[in-house]
Structure formats: structure tokens, C-alpha cells
Amino acid sequence: MRKLVFALTAVLCLCAAAASAATATGTLSVSATLVNSCSVTSGSLNFGSALTYSTTLAQTDQTGTFDVTCTTLAAYTIDLDNGQNALVTQRRLKHATADFLSYNLFQDSLRAVPWGAGVDAKIGQIGTGSAQTNSVFGRLLGQTPTSNGAYSDTVGITVNFTP
């Protein structure tokens, strides 16, 4: 009988311990945020060195390129600033003597759509995850320079996108 009381007491203690145990539950929120990114590989546009210094330079057209790489499906626009030597909105190549040659940049080979910033930005671009080559169509205006030698300018490229 004593063994039976002892066994019953042990069972009751285990039941009491199990009855007083409790659990709590919750959740773990797991997330990730992927952001778009873009990069620019600088390019060049060269009007050439065969231009001859004379009374009046003829209008000269040339094409240059640069690459933009953006995340797949990232929408972006491309602004080109007026360069380091602009007079208001007229882009200019500068000579060491402070002589200038005026030029313009365009988005199309017909040189009908100017390329600048804001309303003149290149719009409707969609990233592919690979480098996309952009052509820049330049036009050196017919003009009369006062100095022979090298002329240059640097135009800033800005790619606008939502990260």
C-alpha cells in the first residue's frame, strides 16, 4: 500500500508540474530591401585635329559615346551639364589663350534634339544590368577662332534614378 501511495504521489507531482508549465509564441519578421544602382563610364567626343585654322571654321559634326550601367529594370534619365566653359547655356571649348569655340550636344543623329539637363535630359531609359552605350552627337559651330592649337571642355554626366 505504501508503494501505491508513493507511486500515486509521484504521478500527481508530475501532473502538477506539467499543469503549471506554460509556453509563449511569437513571430520573426524576415525581410530584404533591394535598391537600384547606376554607374557611368566616362567617354569622349573629339571634333578632330584635322580642323584647319583659317578665317572661318566650317560647321563640324562628330559622335562620341559613354556607358551607363543600371540595375535591371531601373528607370533612369541622363543629364549633361553645360561644361566648364559655358557662356550662359552655350557650351564652349577653351584654348589656353582664353579663345573659345562654340559647340552643341544632341541626343539624335539629326542633331534636332538638344541634350542638356532637366527638360533636355535623355529620358525613358531602363537598366539592363549591363553597360548601355549612349551616343552623343556633337556639332562644332562655324566660327572664326583667333588662336590655333588645342581646345577642350569637360561636360558632367548625371544619371538620375530612384534607389
pLDDT in tens, the chain (163 residues): 555 555 555 554 555 555 578 999 999 999 998 899 999 999 999 998 766 666 678 889 999 999 999 999 999 999 999 999 999 999 999 999 889 999 999 999 999 999 999 989 999 999 999 999 999 999 998 888 888 889 999 999 999 999 8
In a domain? residue 7 = no
**pLDDT recorded at residue 30:** 93
**pLDDT recorded at residue 1:** 52
In a domain? residue 139 = yes
What is the enclosing helix (H) or strand (E) of 65? strand 60-70
From residue 86, give the alpha-carbon distance in Å to each of 30, 62, 100.
Answer: 52, 19, 10
| Domain span at 68 | 38-43+52-161
Q: How far is CA 114 from the centre of its chain?
A: 19
In a domain? residue 72 = yes
In a domain? residue 30 = no
In a domain? residue 5 = no
In a domain? residue 67 = yes
How many domains is the chain built from? 1
Residue entry with cell 562644332 = 140
In a domain? residue 70 = yes
- pTM of the predicted protein model: 0.79
- CATH classification of the domain holding 103: 2.60.40.1090
In a domain? residue 100 = yes
Task: Write phi, then psi, for 126 (nearest 5 degrees).
Answer: -130, 125
- Asked if 143 contacts 18 with a C-beta cutoff of 8 angstroms, the reply is no
**pLDDT recorded at residue 18:** 54
